[in-house]
Structure 1
Amino acid sequence: MNNTTINEENEAILNAIKDDLLVTDIHGVITKVTPAMKQLYGLHDDEELVGRSVYDLEQEGLFTPIVTPLVKKQEERVTLIQTTRENKKFLVTGVPVFNTKGKLWRVATYSHDVTELVNMKSYLEDMEGEMERVLHELTHLRSRHMQEHGFVAKSPEMKRCLEMAKQVADVDVNVLLLGESGVGKTQIAKMIHKESMRTEGPFIEVNCGAIPASLFEAELFGYEGGAFTGAQRQGKIGLAELAEGGTLFLDEIGELSLADQVKVLKFIQEKQFYRVGGRKMKSVDFRLISATNQKLDKMVEANTFREDLYFRLNVVPITIPPLRERSSDIIPLIHHFLQEFSKKHHRDISFDKNTLYLLSELEWKGNVRELMNMIERLIVTSSSRVITANDITIPRSPAAKKEMYDTFSKTLPDTLAEVEASIMQEAALNCRTTTEMAKWLGISQPSVVRKLKKYNIRS
C-alpha cells in the first residue's frame, strides 16, 4: 500500500468520526480536523482550519483555553473544560502522539459538548446555596418563634425536646410531659396548644396536686345545685366542660389518688362524664396533655398508679431535662430574664462577668423557676446598676459547708492557685485566642501566656 492510499484511508477514517477531533503539530498548527468540529464550534463550511494555529484561534475567541501547550509541557494526557465563543462548554482531552524516536510529534484533541451538564452543575450549586440560605432562615425563625413562646434553648437536649413538642402539636394525640419541678412543663404544654389546630379554643389547666381529693371530682366535672352541703345553689361548670374545643392540661397527675385515677381514666377514654349529683351524660371534645415530676413507671410497679391510666397518658412522652444537664442554656436564660424583668420593673441592670460565671456554676435544683426568681429578686433589690458576686446569697447544704471548711484547711496560696487554675481553664474553653482570653479576664496577654504555662493548660 503506497503513501497516497494510506493518506486517503486516514482521511476517510477522520471524516467518518462523528466527534470533534483535531490534530496539531508541536507548534500548535492544525494538521488534521474532522468535519464535525466545524458544527460543534459554530463554524461555516467554507472556513478552513488546517494550517491555522490554535493560538490564533484562541486570540480570535473561537475557544479558550487551549490544551495543546499543556500537553506539550507535560507530555501526557490532559483534560479540561473549554468555552467557545457561543458560550458552549466542551470537555476537551489532549493526547500526546510520539514518533518512532520517542519525540513528541503531534497533539490529538477530542471533545464532547457538556454545556448542559455544566449548566446543571451550576444550577445545582445555586440550589444548594439557596437551600442552605432557606434552612438558615428557617432555623432562625424557629429559634425566634420558640423565644416568642418564652423559650431560650441553646443546648441540643432542650432543642430536641422543643422540636418533639412542635412536631406533635398539630396531631391530636395524648402527650405526657415528664421532668423535675420548675423545668417548664406548663410552658411547653401551652406552646403545644398554641401550635395545635385547637389554638382558638381554651387552654384549661388542672393542678391535680393542689385540689383536695374530696373536691377533685366536683372541680373537674362540676356539680348540680344542691349536690352536697356547701354546693352553690345554681350548680357549677367543671374544668373539663370548660375545655370544650381546646386543650385540657392535667398538671401533677402523679398526685391523684387511686380512686380519682379511675374516674380520670374513664373520662379520657370516653370523653363523657356526669356532673356530681347529675344524671345527664355530658360530652366534651378536648386534647389531653398531662405532666408530672413523678416517675410514673416506678409508681406503677409500686401499685400507686394505675397501669391502664399510665399507658393511656403515655402515648407521646416528652422528657424535659433539668437545668443542670443543659448548662449552656443558663447564661442565655439569665440574659433573657434580665431583659424581661428590667423592662417590667423599669430598671437598667447588668451583671458583671464573674457573676455570670458564678451563676452558671450553680446546681439550680429548682431549675428554670429558681433561676427566674433569683434574677427578678436581684434586679428589684440591687442598689447599683451592676450586680456583682457579692450581691448573690447562695444557700449552702451541710455537705457544701463541709466542703467549704475542707477548703479552709489548705493554705491561702494553694487555695488561690486552685481558683486561678479553674478560672484559666474556663477561659481557655470559652476563648479562641490568648488575646481574647486577656480581654475576657481583664489582664495582659503575656500574663495569660505565663499562667497557661504555669498550670499546664492548652489554649
Structure 2
Amino acid sequence: MIANINFINLQETSCGAVIIFKDISELETLKKELKKVKELSEQLDSIMESSFDGIAISDGNGRFIRLSKSYLRIGGLNPDQILGKTAEELVNTGVLDRSPTLIALREKRPVSMIQHNCAGKQIFSTSNPVFDEHGNIVQIVTNMRDMTELLYLREEIKRVNELNEQYQRELEEWRAKSLASSQIITQNVQMRKLITLASRVAKVDSTVLITGESGVGKEVMAKYIHSTSSRREAPLITVNCGAIPENLLESELFGYEKGAFTGANKEGRPGMFELAHRGTLLLDEISEMPLNLQVKLLRVIQEQQFFRVGGTKPISTDVRIIAVTNRNLADLVKERRFREDLYYRLNVVPIEIPPLRERREDIVPLITHFLAKYNKKYNLNVRLSNEIYQYLERHNWPGNVRELQNVIERLVVTCDGNVVSIANLPSNILGQDKENDSPVLVRAVIPMRQAEEMMERALINLALAAGRTTRGAAELLQVAHSTVVRKAARYGLNHGADMHQAGLVINQD
C-alpha cells in the first residue's frame, strides 16, 4: 500500500490534509512475474548457446525471433539476414534453399530435411511446431546439425570396414597357406576354431597338451604350432615316450656324461632337451612316461634346468613343450598313474582334436589331398569313381585320418587301371557299409512320439559332443542357438550325456 498525503492550508494556516491510498500488490506481482520471465529468458539463452546444434525459434507466422550462435555458424548466416523475416521470405530471396519451418507451419507437423548452406555443406534440420490449447501454432523450434562431420565419420567407418575386410581376406589367405604348408586339411567348423586357437598360442611359449584318438592329426597340429611360432627357425624334436624303453628314456631326454653307465659313449651325449634348445620339444605318448621321470620333467618345466645322467652341473634350457596323448590324463591322475602336478603343468592350453567321424565334411578334401599326393609320389594318374566316394564318406574311420591316408595309398598303388572301382575297396569298408547304410538304426518297435523325442534327444546330444558347445551344436544342426539351449535343458543333456536310447540309436558314422 502506498499513501500520498496532501496538506490543506488556508491563509498560511494548515487546516487539514488529503490522504490518497493506493494498492500496489498487483504491481509487486507483476514485478515478480517480470523477474521470472527474465530468468526464463536467460535460461533459454544459456540452453541455446550451450547446444552444439543450431537452434532457431520462429513465431506462429514463421517469422524468426530468436537464433543461437551455432545456428548462424552452421548455416553460414548473420543475424540481419534472418531475424524478423519469415521462412517464406528467406526461401523466396534465396537465403535458404528450402525450409522445414515453412512446411511445418503449413502442414502442422514435425518436419526433417537436408539443407545446403551458402558454402555447400549439408545440414540436417528438424522443425517442431508448438501448439496452444486451441491447436494453433504459436512457435516453431528448429534444430540444425552440420552433417559434414557425420558424413566424414561415416566415410571413415566405411574405409575402416573395407580395411578390416581386406585384412580378414589376407588373414584367411595366410591361414590357408599355413594350413597347406602344415598339411592341415579341414572344412570343419570345430577344427577351424582349434586352428585359430593354435595360431594364438603359437605366439607365446605356454605348454600345450594335444589330445585325441590315434590318427586324428595330433602331431600335425603340434608341427603347425611350431611352424607358426617365433621358434620356427629352431628345431622341433620329437620323443615318443612309449617307444623308448624305460631304462633308456631318461638318457634320451636329458643326455648323459661320459662313463655314466656301461656302454655309454666315451664323450657323453646331449639329450633331446639340449638338442631342442630355443626350439620345441614334442613329447608324444606322454601318458606312457614312467612316474620317476615325470618328477624330473616337472622340475625341468618349473626351473628350466636339468642334469645329465651322471652329471653334477645343471644345464639351462629354453624349450617350448608340446605334449601329445590319445589317453585321458585326468583319468590316469585319478588312477595314480600320472602325476597331478605334472598334468596341470602340461594342460595349460588343452587342444582336443575331434575324430574324423565327427567331421565328415573333411573326408572328401582329405581324399583329394592324399590322392594327389600319392599320384605324384608314384607318378600315376589314378582317380576314384563316384561310388567309391560314397563308401568312403559312410565309413566310420576308427583309425581316423591315418587310416584314410593308408586306404587311399593302397587304392592308388593296387588299382589296375586309372579308375578305382568298388572291387578295390578293403573288405572292412564294404562290410561296414552294408551294416550301417543308414545313420539311424531301429532295434525295436516303440510309439512314434516316443521315437521322435528319443531321436531329437540323441541328435542334440551327439551335436553337443561334436560341437563342444551349444553354439557349435546349433551350427551342426542348422537351428537357432536358443532352440538347442531350450531342448538340451528339457532333456537334461550335457556334453557327457548317454547317446544310446532304448530301441533307437543314432549311428555316429
Structure-1-length-normalised TM-score: 0.69
Instruction: Please tell me the residue identity of whatever aligns with 2:121.
Output: K
Contact 1:20–1:40 (8 Å) recurs in 2: no
- Describe the shift of the 1:80–1:299 C-alpha distance in structure 2 as closer, same or farther (beyond 3 A): same
In structure 2, what is the equivalent of residue 195 of structure 1?
228
Alpha-carbon contact 1:65-1:83 (below 8 Å) kept = no
Residue of structure 1 equivalent to 2:361: 328
Instruction: Give the CA deviation at 1:43.
Output: 5.6
Instruction: Pick the aligned partner of 1:211 from 232, 240, 244.
Output: 244
After superposition, the C-alpha distances for 1:20-47 in whole angstroms (9 at most, x for unaligned) are 457898xxxx866867777654468887
Matches within 5 A, 1:334-345: 334-345=367-378
CA 100–172 in structure 1, closer or farther in 2 if over 3 Å, else same: closer
> How much does 1:166 deviate?
2.0
Q: How does 1:116-127 map to 2 (within 5 A)?
A: 116-127=149-160
* Aligned equivalent of 2:450: none
Write the distance in 1 (CA, Å) between the matches of 2:65 and 2:416: 91
Does residue 1:319 correspond to 2:360, yes or no?
no
Equivalent residue runs for 1:163-242 within 5 Å: 163-242=196-275
- Cα pair distance change 1:167/1:403, threshold 3 Å: closer
Aligned match for 2:412, one of 362, 379, 397: 379
Q: Which amino acid aligns with 2:97?
A: F
Residue type matched to 1:286 in 2?
Answer: V
Within 1, Cα distance between the matches of 2:384 and 2:102?
69
Does the 8 Å contact 1:351/1:387 carry over to 2?
yes
Report if the CA contact (8 A) 2:87-2:99 is conserved. no
Amino acid paired to 1:130: L
What residue number does 1:251 align with? 284
CA gap of 1:123–1:39, structure 2 versus 1, over 3 A, is same
Contact 1:90 1:113 in 2 (8 A): yes
* Alignment-mate amino acid for residue 63 of structure 1: D
Question: What residue identity is the alignment partner of 2:287?
Answer: G
Structure 1 residues 183 and 66, CA, compared in 2 at 3 Å: closer, same or farther?
A: same
For the residue of structure 1 that corresponds to 2:344, the secondary structure is helix
CA contact (8 A) 2:281 2:322 kept: yes
Does the aligned pair in 1 maintain the 2:286–2:324 contact within 8 Å?
A: yes
SS at match of 1:93: strand
Q: What number of residue pairs does the alignment pair up?
A: 387
After superposition, residues 151-166 of structure 1 pair within 5 angstroms as 151-166=184-199
Alpha-carbon spacing, 1:65–1:281, altered in 2? closer, same or farther (3 Å): same
Contact preservation (8 Å) 1:221, 1:276: yes
Query: Quick one: structure 1 residues 403 and 88, their matched pair in 2 at CA, closer, same or farther if it must change by over 3 Å?
Result: closer
Separation (CA, whole Å) in 2 of partners of 1:148 and 1:169: 16
Does the 8 Å contact 1:38/1:45 carry over to 2? yes
Amino acid at match of 1:203: L
Q: How does 1:224-303 map to 2 (within 5 A)?
A: 224-303=257-336
Alpha-carbon distance in structure 2 between the residues aligned to 1:367 and 1:306: 29
For 1:380-408, what per-residue CA distance to the aligned partner results, in whole angstroms no more than 9, with x for missing partners?
3334445455543351599877668xx9x
- In structure 1, the partner of 2:17 is none
Shift of 1:208: 0.7
Unpaired runs of at least 5, structure 2: 1-40, 50-54, 441-475, 477-509
Instruction: Write the distance in 2 (CA, Å) between the matches of 1:61 and 1:381.
Output: 89
> Which residue number corresponds to residue 420 of structure 1?
none
Distance 2:233 2:436 in 1: 54
2:76 equivalent to 1:63? no
**Aligned-pair distance for 1:182?**
1.2
Partner of 2:447: none
Are the equivalent residues in 2 in contact too, given 1:80–1:91 (CA < 8 A)? Answer: yes
C-alpha distance 382-235 of structure 1, shift in aligned 2 (>3 A)? same
What displacement does 1:252 show?
0.4
**Partner amino acid for 1:291?**
V
2:428 is paired with a residue whose SS is coil
What 5-or-longer segments of structure 1 have no aligned partner?
Answer: 1-12, 408-429, 431-459
Cα deviation, residue 187, structure 1: 1.7
> Cα distance, 1:206 vs. partner?
0.5
State the shift of 1:157 in Å. 1.5
2:399 to 360, 366, 390: 366
Identify if the C-alpha distance between structure 1 residues 65 and 321 changes in structure 2 by more than 3 Å, giving closer, same or farther.
farther
2:232 match: secondary structure: coil
Q: How far apart, CA to CA, are the structure 2 residues paired with 1:191 and 1:304?
A: 30
- Shift in Å at residue 232 of structure 1? 3.6
Shift of 1:129: 3.9
- 1:218, 1:360 → 2: CA distance? 45
Q: State which drifts further: 293-302 or 382-391.
A: 382-391
Residue matched to 2:146: 114
Go from structure 1 to structure 2 and tell me whether the alpha carbon gap of 1:215 and 1:112 turns closer, same or farther (over 3 Å shift). same
Amino acid at match of 1:319: E
Q: Distance in 2 between matches of 1:118 and 1:394?
A: 68
> Following the alignment from structure 1 to structure 2, what is the Cα–Cα distance between the partners of residues 383 and 356?
18
Q: State the SS of the aligned residue for 1:395.
A: helix
Q: Distance in 2 between matches of 1:238 and 1:51?
A: 91
Q: Does structure 2 conserve the Cα–Cα contact (< 8 Å) formed by 1:201 and 1:245?
A: yes
1:92 equivalent in structure 2: 125
Aligned letter for 2:408? I
Which amino acid in the other structure matches residue 92 of structure 1? S
Cα distance in structure 2, aligned partners of 1:24 and 1:384? 95
Shift in CA distance, 319/71, structure 1 to aligned 2, threshold 3 Å: farther
Alignment TM-score, normalising by the size of structure 2 = 0.63
The share of aligned pairs that are identical, in percent, is: 38
User: Once structures 1 and 2 are overlaid, which stretch shifts more, 148-157 or 33-42?
Assistant: 33-42
1:113 aligned partner, one-letter code = R
Q: Is the 8 A contact 1:71 1:107 kept in 2?
A: no
8 A contact 1:24–1:106 mirrored in 2 = yes
Residue 265 of structure 1 and its aligned partner are, at CA, apart by: 3.3
Aligned counterparts of 1:286 and 1:51: Cα–Cα separation in 2? 79
Q: Go from structure 1 to structure 2 and tell me whether the alpha carbon gap of 1:47 and 1:375 turns closer, same or farther (over 3 Å shift).
A: same
**SS of residue matched to 1:63:** coil
Q: Deviations over 1:52-111 (max 9, x none)?
A: 677767xx79536867568856x5322233334533232222456899997x99995724
Q: Secondary structure, in 3 states, of the residue corresponding to 1:82?
A: strand
What's the CA shift for 1:291?
1.0
Alignment CA distance shift 1:242-1:47 (3 Å): closer
Number of the residue aligned with 2:178 = 145
- Flag the 1:224–1:126 CA change in 2: closer, same or farther, 3 A: closer
Counterpart CA distance in 2 for 1:41 and 1:114 is 8
CA RMSD, aligned part only?
Answer: 4.1
Structure 2 CA distance, aligned partners of 1:376 and 1:231? 41
AA partner of residue 205 (structure 1): T
Contact 1:177 1:289 in 2 (8 A): yes
Asked if the contact 2:239/2:283 (under 8 Å) is kept, the reply is yes
